[in-house]
Amino acid sequence: MKQKSIAEAMSAQDRRRFLPSEVAEFHESDRPLPIGHGQTNSQPSTVAAMLDLLEPFPGMRALDVGSGSGWTAAILGELGGADSRILAVERIPELVERSREAIDQPWVSVHRASPGALGLPELAPFDRILVSAMAENAPAELMDQLADGGIMVAPWNEVMHRVRRVGDRIEITEHGGYTFVPLIHTRF
């Protein structure tokens, strides 16, 4: 079975399903859209660029950090297929519930962020990690959750980065300036 392209995967997961009704009519706009609680559903061209850097593959074990509406987790589910395991983590309980309702793939699960933890360290390692919120610095906690050969795509310090773990070595490349909502450690 041929792997879906990023465009096919994005089309298969209709953005409207992941948006509040008051902004759903703008689902085809290439811009971030508000989903409540000061969060956004990312701009489609940004999502596509991040997924291209991520190099998703069938059967991957992936983590979606700051999953918000669940749209990117569902797209990762399309790209990984039924043999993958996609775990999404979000700190806002209402968004966790709303995204659980929108995602229709049993291999994609949405978790509420644990107090003081970034990502899902207890379920690591991951082949791929996608971060959809801006950190101030390189998120070392997430780098520690990468499997050998794993890739993370994450914005920090206003720049998109691609991180690859090769054994004990971390390779980081920069891929242009971006704006995101802030990455926040959950504190209850």
| Residues catalogued as catalytic | 42
Structural contact between residues 65 and 39, judged by C-beta atoms closer than 8 angstroms: no
- Return the number of other C-beta atoms located less than 10 Å from residue 65's C-beta: 28
Q: Which positions ≥6 away from 64 have C-beta within 8 Å?
A: 72, 73, 76, 86, 87, 88, 89, 129, 130, 132
Long-range contacts of 140-148 (CB under 8 A, 24+ apart): 141/117, 142/63, 142/65, 142/118, 143/170, 145/63, 145/119, 145/120, 145/121, 147/61
